[in-house]
Amino acid sequence: MINDAHIWLERLSSLHRSLMRKAANVEGLQLVHIEILQYLSICNRYSNTAQTVSEYLGQTKGSISQSLHFLAEEGLIKRVPCTKDGRVVRLYLTDKSQTALKRIQKTIVPDFSDEEKVINAFKSILSSWQRHEGTKGFGQCQTCRFNENLGPNRFRCNLMDESLKKSETQQICREHEFETV
């Protein structure tokens, strides 16, 4: 038998996907294309590769590769070899895709009146669910156990052993781990 939590999670997920499909259709894209663009708009500099997109969306590398090829052909993403490791190709949004994402966000993201309360509820649900399933984090750096606040506008990722800008702490990372309570 389905419990109440499952029903509400399913409804939330279905509503979001329905709105995403409509937005994709308006842009002349498929749902997966919008999902890729949205992911690239929120991921950090360690997580903008084809492999990570594949992991994040739970799709095969072959399927994602075809979608990335399409997005590059449409001028919605650009592929840039990594300066630290030439075998790695980083994916970046273009101005065209950023403009499209702004239009999409206006149609699919509700304006919650008590946003902090809603966001904290989402974080709590996600954290519990990920721990239970043992899945990768893909959470915001600011909530990660590896993020260290060194003072005003100074942050460090202790996993990657690198400094972070304040804006980077708002992005998501594949290596994210919620702090244990």
Among residues 78, 108, 138, the one where a domain terminates is 108
Structurally, how many domains does the chain consist of?
Answer: 2
Same domain? For 103 and 140 the reply is no
Render pLDDT for 85-121 as a digit per residue (tens, 0 to 9).
888 999 999 999 999 999 998 888 777 667 888 888 8
| pTM of the entire predicted model | 0.83
- Whether 179 is covered by a domain: the verdict is no
Range of the domain at 161: 115-173
The mean pLDDT value for 70-83 works out to: 95
Same domain? For 59 and 131 the reply is no
3-class SS of residue 122: helix
- Report whether 76 contacts 104 (CB < 8 A): no
As a whole number, the mean pLDDT across the chain is: 89
The pLDDT assigned to 9 comes to 84
Q: Say whether pLDDT at 165 is over 80.
A: yes
Same domain? For 42 and 96 the reply is yes
pLDDT-wise least confident of 47-56, 115-124, 142-151: 115-124
Same domain? For 66 and 146 the reply is no
Same domain? For 129 and 61 the reply is no
Same domain? For 101 and 143 the reply is no
- Whether 180 is covered by a domain: the verdict is no
Same domain? For 68 and 145 the reply is no
Q: Which helix (H) or strand (E) holds 131?
A: helix 115-133
Q: Which residue has the higher pLDDT, 85 or 36?
A: 36
Tokens found for residue 129:
């669910």
The pLDDT assigned to 91 comes to 97
Among residues 91, 108, 125, the one where a domain terminates is 108
- The CATH number given to whatever domain includes residue 18 is 1.10.10.10
Neighbours of 140 (CB within 10 A): 18
Residues 6+ apart with CB under 8 A from 16: 108
Q: Say whether pLDDT at 135 is over 90.
A: no
The mean pLDDT value for 123-135 works out to: 80
